[in-house]
Amino acid sequence: MRVAVNISYNGRNFSGFQYQHDFRTVQGTIEKQLKRMHKEFTRIIASSRTDAGVHAVEQYFHFDTPLDIPPEKWKFILNRAMPDDIMINDVQIAADDFHSRFDAAGKTYRYKVYTGTKNPFYDGLKTHYPYALDIAAMKEAMHPFIGTHDFTTFSSAKGEIKNKVRTIKEFKVLETNDGFEFVITGTGFLYNMVRVIAAYVLECGRGIRTPDTLNMIAAKDRTVIPKTAPAEGLYLEKVWYKKM
């Protein structure tokens, strides 16, 4: 039986989602509990492998189990065993061929920035960017991302994926009481792609870079955008599926 799980987590005290032998991770925390229940190791497969410090409002994973447990009981048992920074939102019995990663039709990320005076209560939850930002310049930088492009310029040089063509469906900026939020939806994202894009948009908004997005994309050169925005402002907000 294949079980699909929808979770949220505060990534501040995790070294990312993916299991690491000597570090606290979301995957390692969940698999530890599943091992207790199954009396053997049980692998979970996630829709995304978020980096250290990145949060998730909605993240999915699946696993296979011989245990005949109703979804609501799975939710209760897992939540009872989870630390305070992980919440099991929903559990479903999925189709046998459902795959959390490969069946994802799209994802939405939100990047949170606040300006002005540093606020200790935002530590680990929002990125502090203590400069005035021009929302018109940021919108000018953001709009050309919409569409299908090769995002080599806006991804980590460490990424091993050769095909870096992705489609962005929507990219917008929202003004908040003390800063801005960038909301981006696409069919898929490369390693560090959202954070590199956020760094570029912030530089345009600050006025230290002139918006030139299409030429930046065409360059296919990671070195022209040397910065990556901090992880703490990034949230995986939603994962879209055609089936489950």
Q: Give the residue numbers marked as catalytic.
A: 51
Rounded to an integer, what distance in angstroms lies between the CA atom of residue 207 and that of residue 138? 10
- Nearest C-alpha neighbor of 179 from the set 233, 224, 142: 233
Angle at 69 between CA 73 and CA 60, to 5 degrees: 70
Rounded to an integer, what distance in angstroms lies between the CA atom of residue 90 and that of residue 95? 16
Cβ proximity of 233 and 113 under 8 Å:
yes
Amino acid letter, 165? V
Amino acid letter, 195? R
Helix (H) / strand (E) containing 67: none
Q: At what angle do helices 135-142 and 193-206 cross, to 10 degrees?
A: 140
